[in-house]
């Protein structure tokens, strides 16, 4: 879809490559799906014509355009056609582009350094327990994966059936526009938003369903995020 024209015609602020929040080939806008700071988290990849938010993951075109312009999805589909895009068939699911490349952690040694420990302790966690029970570690000063900067972050592996399939990271920098940065979809074995986070072997029939990774650590192994 001719996204730049659509954004310009509807006065939606956007940024393109060259800005630190947009990767090459992506056009970014404020994500209408996730709360928190508005910092151009929602990207549209020009080659593959799909939306992906740094924080909340992939989104369908019609739902995204509808949300951005405060219109119905029917109107959004019409608009996408006007801007020469392909609308999805209502019953057809778009394949999530995961597992295109082998799973990998960001580069450099992953370990908890004094600044990671200080951050976790400041939030009321026991860093040694998190490291032992959840494999939580920290990224180094030059940590990268696929040219994306993962430096100075807390890293939490995401396991499924005893295997690490993805990871989530949290920046240590107070004003980092990209607070949470997960494994890129292309390298995930299972998309992190499709799985429940927690220790599966300890789940009972009834558990506590929580918001995210840090809530699971706080509440203990029987909760799932």
* Contacting positions for Zn ion (CB under 5 A): 31, 33-34, 53, 55-56
Which residue number, 34 or 221, has a Cβ lying nearer to Zn ion?
Answer: 34
Are 199 and 217 a contacting pair, CB within 8 Å?
no
Which residue number, 110 or 185, has a Cβ lying nearer to Zn ion?
Answer: 185
Are 204 and 222 a contacting pair, CB within 8 Å?
yes
In angstroms, what is the minimal distance from the CB of 52 to Zn ion?
9
Which residue number, 35 or 91, has a Cβ lying nearer to Zn ion?
Answer: 35
In angstroms, what is the minimal distance from the CB of 59 to Zn ion?
8
The position carrying tokens 């009321």 is 124
Which residue number, 53 or 156, has a Cβ lying nearer to Zn ion?
Answer: 53
Are 97 and 41 a contacting pair, CB within 8 Å?
no
In angstroms, what is the minimal distance from the CB of 36 to Zn ion?
8
In angstroms, what is the minimal distance from the CB of 53 to Zn ion?
3
Distance CA(94)–CA(64), nearest Å, equals: 14
In angstroms, what is the minimal distance from the CB of 58 to Zn ion?
10
SS3 142: coil
Q: Cα 84–90–91 angle (5° rounding)? A: 135
Q: If you compute the radius of gyration of the chain from its CA atoms, what whole number of angstroms results? A: 19
Distance CA(123)–CA(210), nearest Å, equals: 17
Which residue number, 32 or 127, has a Cβ lying nearer to Zn ion?
Answer: 32
Distance CA(81)–CA(77), nearest Å, equals: 6
């Amino acid at each position: 879809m001719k996204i730049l024209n659509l954004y310009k015609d509807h006065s939606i602020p956007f940024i393109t490559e060259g800005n630190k929040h947009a990767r090459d080939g992506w056009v970014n806008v404020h994500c209408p799906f996730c709360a928190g700071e508005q910092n151009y988290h929602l990207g549209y990849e020009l080659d593959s014509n799909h939306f992906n938010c740094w924080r909340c993951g992939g989104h369908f075109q019609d739902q995204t355009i509808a949300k951005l312009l405060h219109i119905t999805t029917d109107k959004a589909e019409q608009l996408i056609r006007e801007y020469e895009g392909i609308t999805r068939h209502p019953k057809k699911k778009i394949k999530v582009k995961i597992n295109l490349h082998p799973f990998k952690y960001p580069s450099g040694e992953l370990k908890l350094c004094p600044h990671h420990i200080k951050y976790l302790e400041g939030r009321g966690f026991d860093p040694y327990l998190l490291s032992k029970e959840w494999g939580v570690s920290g990224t180094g000063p030059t940590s990268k994966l696929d040219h994306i900067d993962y430096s100075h972050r807390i890293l939490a592996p995401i396991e499924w059936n005893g295997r690490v399939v993805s990871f989530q990271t949290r920046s240590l920098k107070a004003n980092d526009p990209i607070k949470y940065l997960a494994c890129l979809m292309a390298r995930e074995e299972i998309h992190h938003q499709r799985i429940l986070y927690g220790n599966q072997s300890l789940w009972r029939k009834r558990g506590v369903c929580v918001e995210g990774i840090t809530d699971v650590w706080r509440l203990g192994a029987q909760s799932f995020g």
